[in-house]
Structure 1
Amino acid sequence: MNTPPWHAEPWTRLQARRQRDALPHAPLLAGPAGLGKRDFLQRFVRGLLCQQPVDGDACGRCRSCLLLDAGTHPDRVTLSYGLRKDGVQRSEIVVDQIRELSARLATSSQFGGWQVTSIDPADAMNAAAANALLKTLEEPTRETMLVLVADAPWRLPQTIRSRCQRIDFALPPREQALAWLQAEGVADAVAALDAAGGNPGLARDWAREGALDRRKEVRKDLAALAAGRGEAMEVVRRWLDNEPAQRLWFAAQAVADEVKARSGGQDGPLSSALDIESLGHWYDRVNRTRDALRGPLRGDLLLLELFGDWR
């Protein structure tokens, strides 16, 4: 695995604590999606459970490593979205899952070492689940580690965050991100990184899936709607059919560029009739709409209302 350079600092910090026998019982891996938090978690847990680790990394050959490869290690527990009784995947982590997890953690390690559980995404726990987790966090058993992974850690209650050892994954310097993207074979690294807001992991994935073309399409759609040429319902249909949250991200970027150009006395790329203050309000609405798409409200109505204000 090509380990990103921005993993070096948190990795070194955790390994230093491991050498001092002072590992936290509840690390919280926090930061934007795309920075490899889950790859980091996998590497760390494998090294922690390995019977013959080398500088913190798993050997890949011992019994523990083979069981991890097979997904049958008795001391490795993962918790994520479960299934409802009708077989449909839940959109949140519920209290019954946390109660089952707490009962599991009350038992001893079968290998006599660490017992490691991860909750991912931890920010998907509902209020009852988060409250049920508090007791486990307050009374950890020896050599039991509960790792929380969150792309949006602010959604976690303060009572949960205060009981975790937070390990932040921040956007790396632009030069480092560009060098990594080029090593990953991303052809237009600069454009991809700009599209992803400086996030190299997202930039790589988006470049490979054709998101840069989607970004151009979003700008054309907004310019057409601003000029009265586009049909809002047709744009809504296309956006909802193909990565709506990503398209709203690109829409927010386009409006930010419009504001920047206007503030510099130039024509914006979208030729919007809105003034700068109204553009700022619309930018906020785009981001709120992106969050609202996670909920029960109809996406077509959300986008139609948004486009109505844009026109």
Structure 2
Amino acid sequence: MTSRPWQADAWARLQARRERDALPHALLLAGPAGLGKRDFLADFVKGLLCQQPTDGMPCGTCRSCMLMAAGTHPDVVALSFGLRKDGGTRTEIVVDQVRDLSQRLAMSSQFGGWQVATIDPADAMNAAAANALLKTLEEPTPSTILVLVADEPARLPATIRSRCQRIDFLVPSRDVALDWLRGQGVADAPAALEAAGGNPGLARDWAADGALKQRMEVRQDLKGLAAGRGDPMDVVKRWQATDPARYVWFAAQAATDELRARAAGRPAPLESQLDDESLDAWYGRANRARDALRGPLRTDLILLELIAAWR
């Protein structure tokens, strides 16, 4: 069904439930970004609504498939970030959006089959929106399936998670990931996979967009700062200009590698002046900085504080 082998078991289980007419009224697709949750969802929805599917996969030629391809299928509702009154994109899913969705799902299917609603990213719902969704989850409409997608499912209230059939997307083994990456044409698959923390989807994307060069740049920056070279503000400007969260991810990785080298008695690649306890604390600080970058705080101040702690 998919070119991602780590999804095969989840797909087979879901299709077996479909064959038994035992699909849950709510699904939660959970796991790190990069593992193909959204492609999995797209294939599942197309196959569910297809008029002549094969092993759950859409035919691509029926009326339903044509409407799906055009993005105009009347029985599919997709909920994501809406627009604010000033025209800007929201950073969370709000209660009015969920209420509108619930009203929409109270109506009958126009094709007489399934209605499908998706919420992505579900972990971006604020508290009021999540509470509003509970009623829909507790009183599902017949022949309606609600699919939530979350990169960080722990951010969802337990009351939401407990009412969904959860499908976890896990990082596959290194051998499986490397085989898939090589099949995707990734030249330096081992280096890309290491940079992505074992996540093959991220590794493929990062190998194509210069992330490996950024990873090396981060390590050079940290090593220079540890030796008293370089201007912290220059580092902040460079990290901020492209993808600050990814730069901080690579910085946290570098701190981990520094600790591992010390523990193994090897030369530490960054030559950090921090002792082991302080270095471990800095690793935690880097991860908190990644979380903070999603919020309203100024990016340059978050990065400057992190880099100042390194020096």
If the length of structure 1 is used for normalisation, what is the TM-score? 0.99
* Structure-1 residue corresponding to 2:282: 282
* Structure-1 residue corresponding to 2:73: 73
Secondary structure class of the residue paired with 1:78: strand
2:29 and 2:207 map into 1 onto residues whose CA distance is: 25
* Structure-1 residue corresponding to 2:143: 143
Q: Deviations over 1:128-183 (max 9, x none)?
A: 00000000000001110000000000000001001110000000111010000000
Number of residues paired by the alignment?
311
2:50 and 2:18 map into 1 onto residues whose CA distance is: 13
Q: Deviations over 1:180-200 (max 9, x none)?
A: 000000000000000000000
Amino acid across the alignment from 1:91: T
* Structure-2 residue corresponding to 1:53: 53
- Map of 1:175-190 to 2, 5 A cutoff? 175-190=175-190
* Structure-2 residue corresponding to 1:123: 123
* Structure-1 residue corresponding to 2:223: 223
1:3 and 1:89 map into 2 onto residues whose CA distance is: 33
What is the Cα deviation at residue 303 of structure 1? 1.2
What is the Cα deviation at residue 306 of structure 1? 1.1
Amino acid across the alignment from 2:300: D
Amino acid across the alignment from 2:90: R
Amino acid across the alignment from 1:267: P
CA 1:8–1:2: 2 relative to 1, 3 Å: closer
* Structure-2 residue corresponding to 1:20: 20
* Structure-2 residue corresponding to 1:210: 210
- Map of 1:194-209 to 2, 5 A cutoff? 194-209=194-209
Query: Does structure 1 retain, via aligned residues, the 8 Å contact 2:31–2:170?
Result: yes
Amino acid across the alignment from 1:276: D
What is the Cα deviation at residue 299 of structure 1? 1.2
1:61 and 1:127 map into 2 onto residues whose CA distance is: 41
Q: Deviations over 1:50-72 (max 9, x none)?
A: 01111111111111011111111
What is the Cα deviation at residue 230 of structure 1? 1.3
Secondary structure class of the residue paired with 1:42: helix
Query: Does structure 1 retain, via aligned residues, the 8 Å contact 2:117–2:146?
Result: yes
Secondary structure class of the residue paired with 2:101: helix
- Map of 1:248-263 to 2, 5 A cutoff? 248-263=248-263
Secondary structure class of the residue paired with 2:117: strand
* Structure-1 residue corresponding to 2:29: 29
What is the Cα deviation at residue 300 of structure 1? 1.1
Q: Percent identity?
A: 71
If the length of structure 2 is used for normalisation, what is the TM-score? 0.99
Query: Does structure 1 retain, via aligned residues, the 8 Å contact 2:226–2:310?
Result: yes
* Structure-1 residue corresponding to 2:82: 82
* Structure-2 residue corresponding to 1:237: 237
Is residue 305 of structure 2 the alignment partner of residue 305 of structure 1? yes
Query: Does structure 1 retain, via aligned residues, the 8 Å contact 2:196–2:203?
Result: yes
CA 1:58–1:128: 2 relative to 1, 3 Å: same
* Structure-1 residue corresponding to 2:157: 157
- Say what the alpha-carbon RMSD is for the aligned residues: 0.8
2:94 and 2:198 map into 1 onto residues whose CA distance is: 34
1:254 and 1:163 map into 2 onto residues whose CA distance is: 39
Q: Please say which of residues 113-122 and 257-266 is displaced more in the overlay.
A: 257-266
Amino acid across the alignment from 2:51: Q
Is residue 171 of structure 2 the alignment partner of residue 171 of structure 1? yes
1:80 and 1:263 map into 2 onto residues whose CA distance is: 45
* Structure-2 residue corresponding to 1:94: 94
Secondary structure class of the residue paired with 2:113: coil
- Map of 1:1-12 to 2, 5 A cutoff? 3-12=3-12
- Map of 1:101-120 to 2, 5 A cutoff? 101-120=101-120
What is the Cα deviation at residue 2 of structure 1? 5.6
Query: Does structure 1 retain, via aligned residues, the 8 Å contact 2:227–2:271?
Result: yes
Secondary structure class of the residue paired with 1:239: helix
Q: Deviations over 1:15-53 (max 9, x none)?
A: 000011100110000000000000000000000000111
What is the Cα deviation at residue 265 of structure 1? 1.7
What is the Cα deviation at residue 267 of structure 1? 2.1
| 5+ long unaligned stretches in structure 2 | none
Secondary structure class of the residue paired with 1:268: coil
2:303 and 2:8 map into 1 onto residues whose CA distance is: 41
